[in-house]
């Protein structure tokens, strides 16, 4: 069962991929057709083979993917970066240093947190943290991730017995979804970040000037 549906805001739609690039008037029109529903735990959203014209976004919470009663993946609602972790656990403290925000704004990370590992220098359990991170970087941990949660970035680790994950790995080899730094139009943005990030964190450059530098690095097609 679900609670009563409520209308969605333009701001919420703008936070969803790939809607963030839509014009505001189009988002307003779409908002009239989209609703937000809160579902009870354990409800089935879809089954393999279902045909549905609707698009479902996970705003908050976890969706479990299962096959023959066995968990084969987990989808987390919200952003994949630090903001998503804060939404899941407001008390989280993993020592993340976000990019400085415009005055009055909220700092945020601009990349995912699936690869970097750091230890807070002020931690009272540094030896334990080192031991844990050594395990996190092991193939044993990577095997657990690819068998139970999502794809792993560890070379040579493949799903033990997970048909869905194996199909995802095979599909990813086509490289049909390219990241921004692989594209000629935005390939220079990554270098611009590297060249100017230090000045931003040292307050030698304002967030507005930093954003302008990144924008300058974008080369529109045909221009």
- pLDDT tens-place string over residues 125-148: 989 989 988 888 888 988 888 887
Task: Please state, rounded to an integer, the average pLDDT across all residues of the chain.
Answer: 76
- pLDDT beyond 70 at 168: yes
- pLDDT tens-place string over residues 47-103: 877 777 777 777 777 788 887 777 777 776 765 555 555 555 667 665 556 677 777
- pLDDT beyond 50 at 2: no
pTM of the entire predicted model: 0.41
Can you give the three-state secondary structure of the chain, one letter per residue?
A: CECCCEECCHHHHHCCCCHHHCCHHHHHHHHCCCEECCECCCCCCCCCCCCCCCCCCCCCCEEEEEECCEEEEEEECCCCCHHHHHHHCCCCCCCCCCECCCCCCCCECCCCCCCCCCCCCCCCCHHHHHHHHHHHCCHHHHHHHHHHCCCCCCCCCCCCCCHHHHHHHHHHCCCCCCCHHHCCCCHHHHHHHHHHHHHHHCCCCCHHHHHHHHHHCCCCCCC
């Amino acid at each position: 069962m679900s609670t009563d549906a409520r209308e969605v805001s333009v701001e919420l739609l703008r936070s969803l991929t790939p809607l963030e690039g839509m014009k505001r008037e189009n988002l307003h029109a779409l908002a009239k057709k989209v609703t937000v529903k809160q579902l009870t735990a354990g409800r089935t959203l879809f089954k393999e083979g279902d045909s549905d014209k609707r698009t479902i976004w996970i705003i908050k919470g976890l969706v479990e993917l299962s096959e023959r009663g066995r968990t084969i993946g987990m989808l987390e609602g919200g952003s994949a970066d630090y903001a998503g972790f804060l939404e899941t656990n407001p008390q989280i403290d993993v020592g993340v240093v976000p990019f400085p925000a415009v005055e009055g704004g909220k700092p945020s990370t601009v990349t995912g947190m699936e690869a970097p590992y750091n230890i807070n220098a002020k931690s009272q359990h540094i030896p334990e943290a080192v031991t844990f991170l050594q395990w996190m970087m092991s193939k044993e941990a990577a095997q657990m991730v690819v068998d139970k949660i999502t794809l792993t970035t560890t070379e040579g680790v493949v799903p033990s017995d997970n048909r869905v994950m194996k199909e995802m790995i095979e599909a990813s080899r086509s490289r049909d979804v390219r990241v921004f730094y692989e594209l000629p139009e935005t390939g220079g943005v990554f270098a611009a970040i590297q060249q100017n990030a230090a000045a931003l964190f040292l307050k030698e450059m304002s967030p507005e000037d930093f954003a302008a530098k990144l924008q300058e690095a974008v080369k529109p097609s045909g221009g």
